[in-house]
Structures are given as C-alpha cells and as structure tokens.
Amino acid sequence: AQSVTQLDSQVPVFEEAPVELRCNYSSSVSVYLFWYVQYPNQGLQLLLKYLSGSTLVKGINGFEAEFNKSQTSFHLRKPSVHISDTAEYFCAVTYENAGNNRKLIWGLGTSLAVNP
C-alpha cells in the first residue's frame, strides 16, 4: 500500500535559521506531491505542490520543496524561518495511476516550533 513518511514529528528551530522538513513516499509510479500547513486552531492550507515539470517548487511564505524521484522524497525547506511559521506541516501524495479517483495519502505531520 502507498504510504507517506514524515521523518520528524517535531522540529524545533530558532528564528531566522534555515529549516528542512523531510517527506518520503513509498511508490515509484508517477505521483503528485503536496505540502499543507495547519496554523494553530485553523484548517489546512496548501503550501505548495508538485505536478510535473521543474523539480524545485516554490510555494507561499518563502517555502520551497524539491522532488527527488530516485530517492522518492519531497523535502520542504525555508532558508530563514519566522515565529509565524510555527505550525503543523503535512506532506501528502496522490498517485497518478489511481484510476478515476485520486485519494490523498497523508503523512502524520511535522510540528515546526520556531523559537525567538
């Protein structure tokens, strides 16, 4: 079965430091990849997505992610974080060969805590 693994459940980091949140997926078939962000007491919001084309994807709030097919990874990065980036980050995958119905497969989330 397809799965998504977020390798770190919690990532503490100081303000203005760089951060990388790691995500690996299980399948080698064509995939669509997403990062969603959930700020405290809010719903999920799409941060960025990879559908095709350039493997480096830029999203909102200065985040970017790189699709690495050989390593089946889609790690999220930001060169300098702010306190306001404190949130839960979810990696998700949908598989292109899923027929007419694509389900999002979710990772368990990574809690990013930015400290002053």
Partner 1 sequence: DSGVTQTPKHLITATGQRVTLRCSPRSGDLSVYWYQQSLDQGLQFLIQYYNGEERAKGNILERFSAQQFPDLHSELNLSSLELGDSALYFCASSVDPTSGLYNEQFFGPGTRLTVL
Q: Quick one: 86 or 94, whose CB is closer to partner 1?
A: 94
User: What is the spatial distance between Cα 95 and Cα 113, in angstroms, rounded to a whole number?
Assistant: 30
Question: What would the two tokens of residue 20 be?
Answer: 């990388």
DSSP state letters, 77-97 = EESS--GGG-EEEEEEEEETT
Q: Does 7 bind partner 1 (CB under 8 A)?
A: no
Which residues 37-96 are close enough to bind partner 1 by CB under 8 A?
42-46, 49, 51, 90, 94
Taking CA atoms, 56 is separated from 40, 76, 83, 103, in Å, by 28, 10, 25, 23
Q: Quick one: 17 or 46, whose CB is closer to partner 1?
A: 46
Q: How far is the CB of 97 from partner 1 (least distance, A)?
A: 12
Q: Quick one: 85 or 89, whose CB is closer to partner 1?
A: 89
Q: Quick one: 15 or 94, whose CB is closer to partner 1?
A: 94
Contact (Cβ atoms closer than 8 angstroms) between residue 94 and residue 105:
yes
Q: How far is the CB of 17 from partner 1 (least distance, A)?
A: 26
